[in-house]
Amino acid sequence: EAQVTQNPRYLITVTGKKLTVTCSQNMNHEYMSWYRQDPGLGLRQIYYSMNVEVTDKGDVPEGYKVSRKEKRNFPLILESPSPNQTSLYFCASSLSSKNTGELFFGEGSRLTVL
Amino acid sequence: EDQVTQSPEALRLQEGESSSLNCSYTVSGLRGLFWYRQDPGKGPEFLFTLYSAGEEKEKERLKATLTKKESFLHITAPKPEDSATYLCAVQAGYSTLTFGKGTMLLVSP
């Protein structure tokens, strides 16, 4: 089954405790991206990756890091989480970096930072 | 700055009552306009891509249309299973999508 898998799905943590949200896709997609979704603000892009070892900032990259060492994986790292990073996070992928609007989304990871 | 405004914010329909959702956009050089459906607790699901004014796409009870300033998602004879939040997004460059805040649709039996 084609899917984008995120872990953990739910996490409660405390300010300053480093965490990683993993994302893996099994569709051999070239392009991957992270979004956060907040009430009243909609979906906003955090980081994206056009291909292995190629990453770039989206609209709201502050406080986040990413890496793309393998095609299938695109982890999101919060080095020192703060309460304003409490959000619903989605990883997404698309087949080609030339067609990045047709995204396949994961189920989401709900993060609460106390 | 690219902007996407969706209206209404919420819409309640009776089963079989057709209606339209609106997506107004401002973008420098539209590469594509995308419609997604999002069910509660799930990630968005891709529905349609529209590239140029006058283009239309259909899928079951949904039809998306595009003009130079807005897109409409027409829902014909909706069923309760069409209840979801519908998201519109525009793309100018090769990477970033700008999403609207969505229209929450509730279809009652």
* Chain B residue numbers touching A45 (CB-CB < 8 A): 96-97
Interface contact flag, B89 A101, Cβ < 8 Å: yes
**Single-letter code of the amino acid located at A76:** L
Chain A residues closer than 8 Å to B41 by CB: 107-108
B78-103: per-residue pLDDT in tens?
Answer: 999 999 999 999 998 766 889 999 99
Closest CA relative to residue B25, chosen from B53, B63, B48: B53
The residue ranges of DSSP E strands in chain A, in sequence order, are 4-7, 10-13, 19-25, 31-38, 42-51, 54-57, 65-66, 76-78, 87-94, 104-105, 109-113
Q: Determine, for residues B95 and A90 on separate chains, whether the beta-carbon distance falls below 8 Å.
A: no
Residue tagged 């070892």 (tokens): A53
How many CA atoms lie less than 13 Å away from A90 in the CB half-sphere? 22
Q: Are B63 and B57 contacting, i.e. CB atoms less than 8 angstroms apart? A: yes
- Residue range A62-89: mean pLDDT, rounded: 97
Select from A100, A107, A110 the residue whose CB has the most chain B CBs within 10 Å, as the one to mutate to test that interface: A100
pLDDT in tens, B18-41: 999 999 999 888 899 999 999 999
Chain A residues closer than 8 Å to B46 by CB: 102-104
Window A:34-63, CB contacts with B under 8 Å: 40-45, 48, 50, 56, 58-59
pLDDT score at A10? 97
Interface of B with A in 35-64 (CB under 8 A): 36, 41-46, 49
Query: What integer pLDDT is reported at residue B28 of this predicted model?
Result: 85
Identify from A25, A43, A103 which residue to disrupt to test chain B contact, counting B C-beta atoms within 10 A and taking the largest count.
A43
So what's the pLDDT on residue A110? 97
Quick check: A42 and B102 CB within 8 A? yes
> Containing H/E element for B91?
strand B84-91
